A = this chain, B = another copy of it.
Amino acid sequence: MPALSDVPPSHPRYASLMTREKVVEGVERGITGRNGLIAQGRGEAFDYLIGERTTAAAAEAERAAAAMLLLAERPVLSVNGNAAALVPGEMVSLAKRIGAPLEVNIFYRTEERVRRIADHLRSFGAEEVFGEEPDAAIPGLDHARAKATRGGIFDADVVFVPLEDGDRCEALVRMGKRVITVDLNPLSRTARTSTVTIVDNVVRALPNLISLVEEMAGWDGADLAGILEAYDNTAILRRSVEEVITHLARSFSPLDELSPP
């Protein structure tokens, strides 16, 4: 694919094309699988449908996620090829702020790609990166996808897994873990299964989470627990679907202004 500098800045989707370039670069660097390009496309479509902004529902989920991460005893941040391409520095920064390790966890596992992602995270200052030497298996997943690490995801009480596959998300929940995900499709199995579902673009969600964790770092445990008690993930998903419907309904007026062919 030619460089995006070939796309004229006058192109109406220039901004979206530029964001996308990070995933393409990830593929070129061997940290993102080709499947990650398809996942990026799906994300673009759903983001378009919520107006490419953090909705009120997403902001509330991010607040609950921050509280859950701060309250966790053994939190772990899971990083796949798309997260590594889009928000590597932010994942490292969030990990440091909550004192959590990172663990590389990819859908189409190759040892080479796991190593590249781990190196990429270390180049952003990551101190503890699991995933290169898995020594445990998540029950209920086939061999390659089950791989996990003791002291990392396998033993975590709270796992932050942005852009996760539904199967694996379900398996983590079955293990009794609390799972926080970022998924722009509020109807996906991942979205429906997770404990806290952030329906937002990961490039907006991570900076938001970092700010929230900074803001809430000094809070009482009871105040953080209060946020989680009041949180209702099903309601958040319903509001996210409503946001899409409202956004679509609003699009009727511009359509009315078009004349028939």
Instruction: List A residues at the B interface (Cβ < 8 Å).
Output: 1-2, 6, 8, 11-13, 20, 23-24, 27, 33-35, 37-46, 48-49, 108, 110, 142, 144, 166-167, 178, 185, 187, 189, 192, 195-196, 231-235, 237-238, 241, 244-245, 248-249, 251-252, 255-256, 258-261
Known contacts A12-B166, A249-B245; A1/B34 CB under 8 A: yes
Chain B positions within 8 Å of A238 at CB level: 252, 255-256
Q: A11-B167, A196-B261 are in contact. List 4 more A-B contacts (CB 8 A).
A: A12-B166, A34-B37, A42-B42, A234-B258
Chain B positions within 8 Å of A42 at CB level: 41-42, 44-45
Q: How distant is the Cα of A148 from the Cα of B221 in the complex, in angstroms?
A: 66
Q: How distant is the Cα of A196 from the Cα of B39 in the complex, in angstroms?
A: 29
Q: How distant is the Cα of A2 from the Cα of B144 in the complex, in angstroms?
A: 12
Q: Is the interface of A mostly helix, strand, loop or mixed?
A: helix
Chain B positions within 8 Å of A232 at CB level: 260
Q: How distant is the Cα of A261 from the Cα of B259 in the complex, in angstroms?
A: 48
Tell which of A43, A195, A256, A261 has the most Cβ of chain B within 10 Å.
A261
Q: How distant is the Cα of A237 from the Cα of B43 in the complex, in angstroms?
A: 22
